[in-house]
A and B are shown apart, each in its own frame.
Chain A
Amino acid sequence: MMQLEKIRQEFPALGTQVYGKPLVYLDNAATSQRPLSVIRKWEELSTERNANLHRAVHRLADLATQEYEATRDAVRQYLNAASREEIIFTSGATASINLVAFSFGEAFVREGDEIIVCEAEHHSDIVPWQMLCERKGAVLKVLPVDDGGRIRLGALPALLTPRTRLLCVAHISNVLGLVNPIKEIVKICHSAGCPVLVDGSQGIVHERVDVAGLDCDFYVFSGHKVYAAPGTGVLYGRRELLSRMPPYMGGGEMIETVRWSGTTYAPLPQKFEAGTQNIAGTPTLRPALEMVKRLRDPEILAESNAIKSFMLNGLNKISGLRLYGEPSSPEEKIPLFSFSVEQAHHEDLALILDKMGIAVRSGQMCAEPLMDRFGVTGMLRVSFAPYNTLQEAEYFMQSLERAIKMLRG
């Protein structure tokens, strides 16, 4: 407990109150709270090192550029990517996916080609592909999940054809909290010549991400879900693909020469980083990833596992409660629980829990097709971060039982 208490004190928001009650923040899958190291990095860059990147020769520009590029090295190292040119900074996972949907689409997708997305994807990993397919006259196919929310791997080989250009899947579903078998998916796809994009928005928080080990072709995530500043994000892309893709946005910094007769583009990674970058935000990814490493402390992992079994146990005891996302083994599930309760609407539960000091998410969780799959209009989602405690889980469970009782009358 010592280690966890110490780390919690570094997150100022975790010590605050709502409605006079201690905040119990269980909406981490939407956004995480930020540690002082991240807040201070942002402050330091804004007060001492604010200058535009790469361009000027003055001292401040040099310092700002160093911070930014050192962050690229840190992210490359953390993800175990082959080279720093494969790390593109964006404003978030959504921007990363849209970049790939546009640039990869321009380079590789023609009329009649196919893109596969998983049934459990977040809207951010559905809509950009629908837009691409509409633009190119391509076909969007769906990799289904079973009733427990697990990807039906057996259905994958038949979906892959010589026209399949890309498969897009979340590392961990933001609704089901299940860790998808990325390695196996990549293996099957690669044997059919199809590259794979992994949406790592939840994966980066809960899994040790190694893009070389996963062998995926793109891996994207947002900074704000993993303790960094909002408006930051990463796109990892295999160099052979990125170098063949045209730029997404034109503007400053992404060019080599600009003439009226035509423009040549900068090499990777600048080719994909047009315009002024998030100078103060992006470097917060460095202390954020340090925090991820610190939270992988054995004592903290043990607490997370205790929360997981406590929650699964407690939720299963509530009559009329249906949990979505059943793991085949405990390691397959992160401490994220989406469920619905008979005679207790998710919105009502979220409103009552809020007044008890507990922040949870209710609604469709940006995954309407998955809501349809399970025949519900919404769910209640409780998502823990490694900094949450078993005591918070216990308070949540008591509060949930009380809220259900209030609603059932």
Chain B
Amino acid sequence: MKSLQECQEEVVEDFSMYDEWLDKYEYLIDLGHRLEPFPEELKTDDRLIRGCQSRVWLDTRREDGRLFFRADSDAIITKGIISLLIGVYSGRTAAEIAADDFSFVERLGLRENLSPTRANGLASMIETIRRTAENLV
């Protein structure tokens, strides 16, 4: 398995290939459509992260000392970003995640989607991933 940093570098590099914003969104929409389906029965209130805009459901599972994330959203661009985040963080140990500074999120340049100052489910999702990991360390 690649290290967390290597994985982040790859994602940032892939994403920076697109110069045009609309191409970036096309890419995210495509990722969103291909995201592993999220079981309907897991769409419970305790997994729901509310925002003024899109809703995000996050399910966290621990197995052999590793954290596995599954998530979903009613907005497709958000799902695309979820796909990027899950690709990076799912299947890692709590220690690995807790040690990360999450600065890679800023390097993606998706401020409108990920800024914690906006009432947005994604920013809360990242915060939840971070806190879950920290609490386990």
A residues in contact (CB < 8 Å) with B: 19, 345-348, 350-352, 354-356, 362-364, 377-378, 406-407, 409
Question: Which of B21, B26, B33, B77 is close to A347, meaning CB atoms less than 8 Å apart?
Answer: B77
Flag the segment in B6-14, B47-55, B87-95 that touches A.
Answer: B47-55
Give the CA-CA distance A350 to B55 in the complex, in Å. 15
Task: Establish whether residues B54 and A345, one from each chain, have CB atoms under 8 Å apart when the complex forms.
Answer: yes
Extra contacts, 17 of them, besides A348-B76, A352-B22 (Cβ < 8 A), are: A19-B21, A345-B75, A346-B53, A347-B53, A347-B54, A348-B75, A352-B25, A352-B77, A355-B21, A356-B22, A362-B53, A363-B52, A363-B53, A406-B25, A406-B29, A407-B29, A409-B33
- The residue on B at minimum CB distance from A356 is B22
Min CB distance, B123 to chain A, in Å?
13
| Subset of 9 A-B contacts with CB under 8 Å | A19-B21, A345-B76, A347-B75, A351-B25, A351-B77, A352-B25, A354-B112, A363-B53, A377-B55
> Which residues of chain B come closer than 8 Å to A378, judged between CB atoms?
52-53
Contact A407 B76 (CB under 8 A): yes
Q: Which 6 A-B pairs have the closest CB atoms?
A: A345-B75, A355-B21, A347-B53, A363-B52, A347-B75, A347-B54
B residues less than 8 Å from A407 (CB atoms): 29, 76
Q: How far is the CB of A140 from chain B (nearest CB, A)?
A: 23
Q: Is B74 part of the binding interface, using a Cβ–Cβ cutoff of 8 Å? A: yes
Contacts of A409 in B (CB 8 A): 29, 33
Residues of B24-53 whose CB lies within 8 A of A: 25-26, 29, 33, 52-53
Q: Which of B26, B74, B76, B113 is A377 in contact with, Cβ under 8 Å?
A: B74
B78 at the interface (CB under 8 A from A): yes
Across the interface, which residues of B come within 8 angstroms of A351, CB to CB?
25, 77, 112-113
Q: How far is the CB of A90 from chain B (nearest CB, A)?
A: 26
Which residues does chain B contribute within 8 Å of A19, judged by CB atoms?
A: 21
A377–B74 alpha-carbon span in the complex (Å): 10
Minimum distance in angstroms from A248 CB to a CB of chain B: 29
B55 → chain A closest CB, angstroms: 6
How far in angstroms is the closest Cβ of chain A from B125? 14
Cα–Cα, bound, A407→B74 (Å): 12
A409 CA to B79 CA, complexed, in Å: 15
Please indicate the chain A residues that have their CB under 8 angstroms from the CB of B29 in the complex.
Answer: 348, 406-407, 409
Q: B54: nearest residue on chain A (CB-CB)?
A: A347
Count residues of chain B with CB under 8 A from any CB of chain A: 18
User: Which single residue of chain A is at the shortest CB-CB distance from B25?
Assistant: A352
Q: Which of A347, A377, A407 has the most CB of B within 10 A?
A: A347
B:69-120 near A, CB below 8 Å:
74-78, 112-113, 119
One of B22, B52, B55, B77 near A348 (C-beta < 8 A): B77
Given that A351-B113, A406-B22, A406-B25 are contacting pairs, would A364 and B52 also be in contact in the complex, using a CB cutoff of 8 Å?
yes
Q: How far is the CB of A401 from chain B (nearest CB, A)?
A: 14
Point out which of A350, A351, A355, A356 has the most chain B C-beta atoms below 10 A from its C-beta.
A351
Query: What residues of chain A lie closer than 8 Å to B33, measured between beta carbons?
Result: 409
Chain B residues with CB below 8 A from A345, complex form: 54, 74-76
A406 near B26 (CB under 8 angstroms)? Answer: yes
Closest chain A residue to B55, Cβ basis: A377
* Residue in chain A with minimal CB distance to B119: A363
- State in angstroms the CA–CA spacing of A362 and B54 once bound together: 10
- For residue B106, give the distance in angstroms from its CB to the closest CB of chain A: 18
Tell me the bound Cα distance from A117 to B52 in angstroms: 23
Chain A residue, CB-CB nearest to B30: A409
**Residues of chain A lying within 8 A (CB to CB) of residue B21:** 19, 355
A347 touches B78 (CB 8 A): yes
In the bound complex, what is the Cα–Cα distance between A377 and B54 (angstroms)?
8
Closest to A364 in B: B52
Instruction: Tell me the bound Cα distance from A143 to B53 in angstroms.
Output: 27
CA distance A352 to B76 in the complex (A): 12
Chain B residues positioned under 8 Å from A348 (CB to CB): 29, 75-78
- Which residue of A354, A356, A364, A377 has the most chain B CB atoms within 10 A of its CB atom? A377
| Chain A residues closer than 8 Å to B22, beta-carbon distance | 352, 355-356, 406
Cα of A356 to Cα of B23 in the assembled complex, Å: 12
Partner of B25 from the list A346, A355, A363, A377 (CB cut-off 8 Å) is A355
| Chain A residues whose C-beta falls within 8 Å of the C-beta of B74 in the assembled complex | 345, 377
With a CB–CB cut-off of 8 A, which chain A residues contact B76?
345, 348, 407
Q: How far, in angstroms, from A92 to B21 measured CA to CA in the complex? A: 36
- Which partner residue on chain B sits nearest A351 by CB separation? B77
